Amino acid sequence: MDPWLAADPPGPNDDPPPFDPGKERHREVETKERAKSARPPRFKVILYNDDYTPMEFVVQILEKVFRKGPSAATQIMLQIHRGGMGIAGVYVLEIAETKSTTVQRMAEEKGYPLRCGVEKE
């Protein structure tokens, strides 16, 4: 075949290609796979209340580890203090787990019982 004709992409006035159910099915699978890898599942990092961890320390954690501003960090801390638990942030799994481990390590270093967990959104 003439290589120039072969390279010509279909234009707006060209007939659509004949329907091929096999090809159509394949495209569906491809679309699903692409959607899956482009939107990985998200995970909440949850902080739990306790009676001993100082409020200021929780605010610091929310600012440093979860990149909250001072006022958002204070609000989230108070919500956890009053409600028993709260969401510090939502991330892909690897990031959520790293942040949770960081929180546990920082709390242990200070001897505070602060608990942190990861939950699928």
Q: What residues line the site for ligand TYC (CB under 6 A)?
A: 47-51, 53-55, 58, 77, 80-81, 114
Smallest distance from the beta carbon of 104 to ligand TYC, in angstroms? 12
Looking at beta carbons only, is 20 or 55 nearer to ligand TYC?
Answer: 55
Looking at beta carbons only, is 80 or 96 nearer to ligand TYC?
Answer: 80
Looking at beta carbons only, is 43 or 66 nearer to ligand TYC?
Answer: 66
Smallest distance from the beta carbon of 57 to ligand TYC, in angstroms? 8
Q: What is the dihedral of CA 105, 109, 113, 119, to 10 degrees?
A: -10
Smallest distance from the beta carbon of 114 to ligand TYC, in angstroms? 5
Smallest distance from the beta carbon of 9 to ligand TYC, in angstroms? 58
